[in-house]
Amino acid sequence: MRVEYGVEVAGRVGHDTGVMLLVPADPLRPRRPDEHFRAEAVAAGDAGLDVAVVDHDALTMPGRADQAVELVPAGGEAVYRGWMLRSEQYAAFAEALARRGVTLRTSPEQYQRAHELPGWYAALAAHPHVDVDQERPARRLRSGTRRVEHRSGRPA
């Protein structure tokens, strides 16, 4: 097992909390956490969580999810803290981890519901402080007096 930046990567560390933090690997140094997530990886390790890296680039390519998780130790529960994935990529990620006996705490269904408009639109519309234009629900949302607009200035 190797310690890099205060985090043991590609192995288990901490106080066996049963939860593993998965972060993207540095593309040039695949056994190290990506610099954008390194501080969180260090903090998680200091808090007693297990930390492992995944190959984000491989996760975004069809059929390479198993390769993406080959440095993740087998067994246990995990939380992914990394770059956004499309829902089908996250589902393939979850399946590859499951083959290693690892379960993501956020299921593919929960991930899709939270990250894609059809999944969270109804919850947003039901919020008491958000006024949703029911005539054009996918185009115009208003919060108070501000409208959410596209960069061009037209309603999103």
Q: Assign residue 93 the CATH number of its domain.
A: 3.40.50
Nearest-angstrom CA–CA distance, 136 and 96: 39
For the chain, residues with pLDDT lower than 70 are 1-17, 131-156
Same domain flag for 156 and 89: no
Predicted TM-score of the model (pTM): 0.71
Please check whether residues 111 and 131 belong to one and the same domain.
no
CA-angle at 95, arms to 94 and 99, nearest 5°: 115
Residues 111 and 151 reside in one and the same domain? no
- Do 110 and 128 lie in one domain? The reply is no
Is the domain of 54 the same as that of 25?
A: yes
Same domain for 111 and 38:
yes
Tell whether 32 and 106 lie within a shared domain.
yes
How do beta strands 102-104 and 19-24 pair? unpaired
User: Do the beta carbons of residue 44 and residue 51 sit within 8 Å?
Assistant: yes
Mean pLDDT over all residues of the chain?
81
Look up the domain containing 139 and give its range. 124-156
Residues 107 and 130 reside in one and the same domain: no
* Domain shared by 9 and 62, yes or no: yes
- The reply to whether 13 and 69 lie within a common domain is yes
pLDDT value at position 96? 98
- Chain centroid to Cα 88, Å, comes to 13
Backbone phi, psi, residue 30, to 5°: -65, -10
The verdict on 63 and 133 lying in the same domain is: no
pLDDT of residue 132: 64
Query: Rounded to an integer, what distance in angstroms lies between the CA atom of residue 117 and that of residue 141?
Result: 12
**Residue 31 and residue 106 in one domain:** yes
Tell me what pLDDT residue 52 has. Answer: 97
How many independent structural domains does the chain possess?
Answer: 2
